[in-house]
Chain A
Amino acid sequence: MRKQQEALRIHRVTLFGKQYESAQVRAAVVLLVPTIIAIVLLFIVPVIQVVSYSFTNYNIATGIKKYNGIANYKHLFTDDRFFKAIRNTFTFAAFKLLIDTTLALSIALMLDARIPLKKYLRSVYFAPVVVPVVASSLIWIWFFDPGIGPFNQVLSALGLPTSQWLYHEKSALGSILMFSIWKGLGYNIVLFLAGLQNIPPSYIEAAQVDGAKGHQILFRIRLPLLRPIISFVLMIGIINTFKVFAEVNVMTPKGGPLYSTALMVNYIYDTAFTSGKMGRACSASIILFIIIFILTLIQTRLDTSKSITME
């Protein structure tokens, strides 16, 4: 009983004009200090530094680090390789988002139909997502081998023209795209499927009672109700395709034939760790961040404007 009374007697402190229980504040400080240290060291300091280094000619090979204004940015805008990397990234992102989203959405709609082995099928489609990208890249490097790769062997057995896959400027990025779609598809399927399963069956039954046909139910009920998930998938998709690095680095370590597979992160990596130009790599990182940020903003804008016209 005494214990309970003691517990009920609460010490209070006033901080910034508000009352807090001092025990809670003390516990919060102790429990949060490690996270705050981590945020400062792993987030705040690097964010400040990436901005400030981007205005220097910091070169890790020579150790020189001098302020040089916007010289890095000027250089980037005249650098063919950088432009190529940006163009590759946008091409890659556009095709990946388009193919990935439509394919995943169609498969999710099909998985939502009345079919046997539903769980097994979902597991199989999702499996490539959990596997380490480097390991699955190794398999696909063989698939893409122009000489002894299964792809060309099957194509030539069928009498179709073969491809140089990763080893030709025209097909290299497309090959990585194929891999990337295989790898990422299951993730979006799972998200869409969850969205579809959240639609109350009564909506669909009601529409059926009213005589709605399959395609009407799809376009008037299921897809509109799925819209928040679709835009979420697109947003995550944009951000993630701009972060792609590992598969390109493993399959085409030097950025592919004529730098045709190099994406922005590969450019940043090359600039920093092959050429040692840390300052310039930081400027490229800032540009990457700005692009991702703008795309995210556009996406959220489009989304809200659509929801307004809907109502």
Chain B
Amino acid sequence: MASLRKKINIPVFLFLLAGSVVMIFPFVWMIFSSFKTVADVYTYPPKWLPSSWKFTNYKKVFQMIPFGRYYFNSIFTSVAQTAIQLALSITAAYALVVLNFPGRKFLYTLIRSTMFVPTVVTLIPLYLLVSKAGMIDTYAGIILPQVLSAFTIFLLVSFFSSIPTILFDSAKLDGCGYYRILSEVVIPNSKSSISTAMLFAFLGHWKSYTWPLIVTNKAIYRTLPIGMKYLVQESSSEYQIMMAAAVMAILPVLIVYLFFEKQLVQSITLTGLKA
């Protein structure tokens, strides 16, 4: 059959290589430019490389805006959201997969139906609810309304369904209750799938924009994306500083991505989940 196999397709390869340069160019530009001086930015013809490699712009980001605080807010809220979201989703998915209880089908449909109403549709009543509860400019206000995710629940439902039921039965015979089946059978057997779901949830919360934008007025509660939005307005075209901020926001994500690319891509193809 070897004769039927195609040879390496060089034109296609070169085309894709050129395309990949286009895709990666903005990041390369960002990294180089984060070291540029104002003069480098304004020269014509444009300079690709900075005239010196100094971290001045990075320092300036912290002087211009409370960047450290934004960073902390983003890490804290994303971690909390991910933890709560996973706790809710693991228990819900376990109950839906393993337990037999009245209303199971109805609940399944209800969770599914939340996927058909985009979150922007319920944004305003949710904001008003949070506002009435006095949670504007609080961490709880940023975190709690973001913890329900039908996608995560269904992702875990599909993972849990693949655990052989014989494991549940033998655990029952060993005298395990249903909580212990969850903690001693389901969770240990789905460590990798749970961490995939976790990774997904975290990346989603890390880049979350609309909700933190509307529930924060005070600068000290802004998350990284919101702080960066205001940096655009406050830095008045000091692009080299914007690039330094962008590097700091993007780099952790790219590192995570490089390590976990396989899981990310797999779960996207599994669920069509928007990263």
* Chain A interface (Cβ < 8 Å from any Cβ of B): 3-4, 6-8, 15-16, 18, 20-21, 23-25, 27-32, 34-36, 38-39, 41-43, 45-47, 49-50, 53, 60, 107, 110-111, 113-117, 120-136, 138-143, 145, 148, 150, 153, 157, 182, 185-187, 190-191, 194, 205, 208-209, 232, 236, 239-240, 242-243, 245-246, 249-250, 253, 265, 268-269, 272-273, 278, 281-282, 285-286, 288-289, 292-293, 296
Contacts and interface: CB of A to CB of B under 8 A. Distances in A.
What are the nearest 5 A-B pairs in CB distance? A49-B125, A46-B122, A132-B207, A27-B178, A28-B101
Contact of A24 (B19, B100, B226): B100
A53 B268 contact: no
A282 B127 CA distance: 12
Contact of B23 (A41, A127, A153): A127
A27 B178 CA distance: 6
Interface stretch (B52-60, B188-196, B235-243): B235-243
B5 A186 contact: no
B239 A39 contact: no
Given A126-B265, A130-B264, A153-B45, A249 B229 contact: yes
A42 B145 contact: yes
Contact of B13 (A24, A27, A115, A281): A115
Contacts of A242: 118
B110 A39 contact: yes
A111 B16 contact: yes
Contacts, number: 295
A187 to B, nearest CB: 7
Contact of B19 (A49, A107, A136, A269): A107
Contact of A145 (B121, B237, B243, B275): B237
Nearest to A289: B121
Contacts of A282: 124-125
Interface of B: 1, 4-9, 12-13, 15-17, 19-20, 22-24, 26-27, 29-30, 33, 41-42, 44-46, 87-89, 91-92, 94-95, 99-102, 104, 107, 110-111, 114, 116-129, 145, 147-148, 153, 172-179, 182, 203, 206-207, 209-210, 213-214, 224-226, 228-229, 231-233, 237, 239, 242-243, 245-246, 249-250, 253-254, 256-258, 261, 264-265, 268-269, 272, 274-275
Contacts of B153: 35
A27 B125 CA distance: 32
Main secondary structure of the interface of B (DSSP, over half): helix
Contacts of A243: 118-120
